[in-house]
Each structure stands twice: as structure tokens, then as C-alpha cells.
Amino acid sequence: MAARQIVLITGGNIGIGYEVVKALYAAATPYEILMGSRKIENGEQAIEKLKQEVKESSSTVSVVQADVCSDESLDKLVGDIESKQGKLDVLINNAGAGFDGQIRDKKMSIREAFNASWDTNVSGTHVLTTLAMPLLIKSSNPRLLFVTSGTSSLIETELMEGIHGRINAAPDAGWPKSGQLNPLTSYRSTKTGLNMLMKEWDRILRNDAVKVWAISPGFLATGLGGVGSDVLKKMGAQDPSVGGQFIKDVVEGKRDEYQGKIVRSDFFGTPVQPY
């Protein structure tokens, strides 16, 4: 029997990350899933929930401590994988955060929020990817995924249909500007930076066997924006499980023709497309 593919997903205990773990755990293909969580106890609770929701699986799942804002944490994580598994087949850089609401609520300064967003969404991702690359190179079919956002597309900043009408709307003239329902400035900016980071890794690995993507899992009702899933669903957001299934498809080779690009599961119902 073929050995299980070893998959590491950061931020795997909650939101889209949890749904990816769940989709892989329920898949017919056997995986060894490493659920990255900033706190081990949160990951353990997520695994308990997972095993209640998916009664049978050909895969294994375990929690690993993964704080993308801590070099010490990432060094230990990669060292542990090297000593226990010896390689890594799939790295899903999913961990992300938005701090714009902290600016709105005067809990963080603009600089603090932007630095925190960049550190979590881009810098930490780059550090982990760099550290993990020797393990990925050892795989016979290595895959590197960056979870981005549909809000990061420069082209789509000019669209005004549906949800775009909310996130792209211009506020009234004058200063100061009134706060929007869900401010996204630092989050969108860093996810656009993450897209370029993906393209850089695609360039760096062009002569290697590593397949690279950025994945935009669609407009999903997660807790990331701080608005609440019920509000997002009323705005047209889909269940986070849709994103989990889509990312599983990428892991399983169903989007290989788009490697090196940004692909997404579009909530408008249009075909999957690179952008």
C-alpha cells in the first residue's frame, strides 16, 4: 500500500483551515494530516470535533504547534517534521488574520495593525515556506499552496456587483471617513502581497518539481472579518465547507493545469478561473 501523503496546514483548527482538514480526513485518499494550531489545546479540541463529524477515515490527523508569527515555533515545527516524518508532501499556508477592525475600534494604531497583518499573512508564511522547502523537495509530488482572498484582486477593485458593491464602495466626501461595516484595507493589501509571494515562489521553484498555487476559496461565512457568519450568509456567503472541498481538489490534482496561478471557487457560480 502506498505511503500516506503528509500534509501540513497552518491555521487548521478553525475556519477554512478546519474545513480543509475535514475534507482531506473524509477523502478516500489516505493522508497524514498535520493540523497547525497556535495553541495545542485548540487543535486538540478541533480534532475531537472532527472525529465526531467524520466517523470513519483512512487518514490520520494530529495537532502541531504552529505560530507563523514566531520563528522559534516554526523552527521547532519543521525540525519535528524532519525527525518524525522525514519529508513533507503538501504545505498549505492557510493561517491568516485581519486587524482592520482593531483600527476602527481604536485598539491598535494603523502601523500596529498593518504590521500585524503583514507579519501574519505574508512574512510568517514566507519564513515557514523557506524553512519547509528542504522537506518538500524530498517529496515525489510536492505541492505548495497559499490561501489568498478574492478581495486581493486588483482587477476586481473596479467591480460593483454583489459583494463587490460593499467592499469597493467609496465613502462620502470629507474627513474623517465614517467606518465601513467591514473595513479591509490592511487585509486586502497583505493578501495582494501574498499573491506576489506565490509568484516569487513559483519563479524560485521553476526548475524544481514543486507545484505552486494561490487559492482563493470564495466568499465564505467565516469569522475572519469579525462580522459574524449569519450576516455574511445574508450577503451571499457560502458555507466554509465549499472552500475546504475546493482546496482538497487542488491537493488531489484537479487544478494542475493552473499551477503557478491564482485559482478560486467563485461564489457567483461562474467556472473556476485563474486571475
Residues 6+ apart with CB under 8 A from 61: 21, 25, 33, 34, 35, 47, 50
The 10 Å CB-count burial string (b at 16+, else e) for 35-69 is bbbbeeeebeebbeebeeebeebebebebbbbbbe
What gap in Å lies between CA 61 and CA 43, rounded to an integer? 10
CA distance 31 to 192: 31
Catalytic site includes residue 51: no
Cα–Cα distance measured from residue 19 to residue 14, given in angstroms and rounded to the nearest whole number: 8
Identify whether the C-beta of residue 219 lies closer than 8 Å to the C-beta of residue 163: yes
* C-alpha cell, 106: 481604536
3 state DSSP class of 83: helix
- Grouping H, G, I as helix, E, B as strand and the rest as coil, residue 219 is coil
Cell, residue 35: 493540523
Of 187, 189, 211, 216, the catalytic one is 187
149 is catalytic: yes
| Residue 84 appears among annotated catalytic residues | no
Q: How far is CA 170 from CA 28, 75, 176, 188, in A?
A: 47, 43, 13, 15
Catalytic residue among 149, 152, 189, 265: 149
For cell 483551515, name the residue.
17
Which of 191, 211, 216, 248 does the annotation list as catalytic? 191
Bridge partners of 220, per DSSP, are: 238
Give the span between the Cα atoms of 218 and 232, in whole angstroms: 12
Task: Name the DSSP class of 267.
Answer: T
* Residues catalogued as catalytic: 149, 187, 191
